[in-house]
Structure 1
Amino acid sequence: MKIAFSPCPNDTFVFHALVHGKISGAPEWDVTYADIHITNHWAIDRVGPDIMKISYAALPWVLEDYALLPCGGALGRGCGPLVLTRDSVLSSNNSSSDLSALSGKRIAVPSERSTAYLLFRLWAARNIPGGVGDIVVMPFDQIMPAVRDGEIDAGLVIHEARFTYSNYNLSKIVDLGSWWETTTGHPIPLGAIIAKRDMDLPALASWIRSSLEYAWAHPEESKVYIAEHAQEMAPEVTQAHIDLYVNSFTADLGTEGYEAISALLEQAAEANLVPKINPDLLKWPY
């Protein structure tokens, strides 16, 4: 069975047991490791594996053909994207009026089909007079060096950048996760696990949830596998990444998770950032 997910520690932690034949009754798995901006386009273009990790922001383009599974993804609190700059004058310690300095500036983002981008656009529309200037899409691991080196004015960062941006002498303008949580009361929907609708979806969800439960019960077993794909990430950063992005919502989105997803996609549709979805297509079980 073919699946695509990122090499990030949270994904390799969740899927380690499944792809290493440790889940009873599950088939063999053929894994493609790809960052989420790639899988987003695969899903939208209908060219990827039958099961993929994508951004929740890409769901409106794919829900007719792919179902959202209730487990395995990334949704939570305190785990949102950050907007960074090399200019400490724009740090989050200053007043919101300082944000006018971002008006017309060049901002790097990791994808235009990501939750991070949706949150940034929603936040910027309410907080940056006149709006930002050019949006530059680049791989997420290149954004902080580009901000540091003055190639762009500010950057939207995700993943382990939460723990490492000070290494680049950058300052935080805003934590978009905190902004979203304060504004709406909802957790942040980040990465979704989707599967073709003609598959055995309950079985898939059961296997993925069993893989997560195995990972929690046997955390030492997955460490080598995680490290192999962690892109030279320091062990303490790897563990912080897992601790932050793998949580109770990874096991089951639940009512709170589905409400958060609906709220994000409804606000984004109202802002003409994504197509409006049929809410029935989000429901589980199918």
Structure 2
Amino acid sequence: MAIPGRLTTAALVLRLWAGAVKTTILPFDQILPAVRDGRVAAGILIHEGQLTYAGEGLTKVVDLGEWWLKTTGLPLPLGVNGVRRDLPEALQGEISRTMRRSIAYAMAHRPEALAYAQRYGRGLDTPRTDRFVGMYVNHWTEECGPKGRDAMALVLAKAVEHGILPARCEPEFVRE
């Protein structure tokens, strides 16, 4: 099973779903071609591969995000923006507010944001770029809220419970 990295949400959720699986680490953009060309039997597709796999003749086995939601009732936390703890709290808050404003601006000016994103979309047409951006730039991105924070805590707790992480860690959030 090709994965995009050992310390990724993809690798973690794969292990939660399938248990111990033999994996091969490949850059995320090389996984789809490796599966298509028969170099690996299967792979975790992230980013635009989630939208283009069928056009490459591949079949979905499971959508791990859907599995996580069905199993836990919570969204799958895929990533976070981090800020150094040693920065003054006021600066941490300003960084967080600036990022939130940037996301809100992009959501309010979607056509412009899509045109910008499409330059980095690795061949997605406009409708698929729009779908892709909608998957990852949404109300959860702007503010994860209590449900998002619960999801982050749960995925980390499950990782410890299954022996994937050595010790429990609690996510910390910037106070604005």
Normalising by structure 1, we get a TM-score of 0.57
Aligned to 1:214: 105
1:265 touches 1:276 (CA, 8 Å); kept in 2? no
CA distance in 2 between counterparts of 1:278 and 1:166 reads 38
Whether 2:82 is the aligned partner of 1:197: answer no
How many matched pairs?
173
Same amino acid, percent of matched pairs? 38
2:77 touches 2:148 (CA, 8 Å); kept in 1? yes
Whether 2:172 is the aligned partner of 1:282: answer yes
Once the two structures are superposed, residues 219-262 of structure 1 have per-residue CA deviations (whole angstroms, 9 ceiling, x without a partner) of 23334432222223222221111111111111111110000000
1:147 touches 1:153 (CA, 8 Å); kept in 2? yes
Greater fraction helix: 2
Shift of residue 122 of structure 1?
Answer: 0.8
Q: Which runs of 5+ in 1 are unaligned?
A: 1-106, 126-130
Shift of residue 283 of structure 1?
Answer: 4.1
Normalising by structure 2, we get a TM-score of 0.90
CA distance in 1 between counterparts of 2:74 and 2:126 reads 30
Q: 1:117 aligns with which of 11, 16, 41?
A: 11
CA distance in 2 between counterparts of 1:270 and 1:110 reads 23
Q: 2:41 aligns with which of 143, 147, 153?
A: 153
| Higher radius of gyration, 1 or 2 | 1
Shift of residue 267 of structure 1?
Answer: 0.4
RMSD of aligned residue pairs (Cα, Å): 1.7
Shift of residue 211 of structure 1?
Answer: 0.9
Query: Structure 1 residue runs of 4+, over 4 Å off?
Result: none
CA distance in 1 between counterparts of 2:168 and 2:175 reads 18
* Correspondence list, 1:215-234, <5 A: 215-234=106-125
Letter in 1 for 2:57: N
Indicate how the Cα distance of structure 1 residues 248 and 271 shifts in structure 2: closer, same or farther if over 3 A, else same.
same
Greater fraction strand: 1
1:209 touches 1:251 (CA, 8 Å); kept in 2? yes
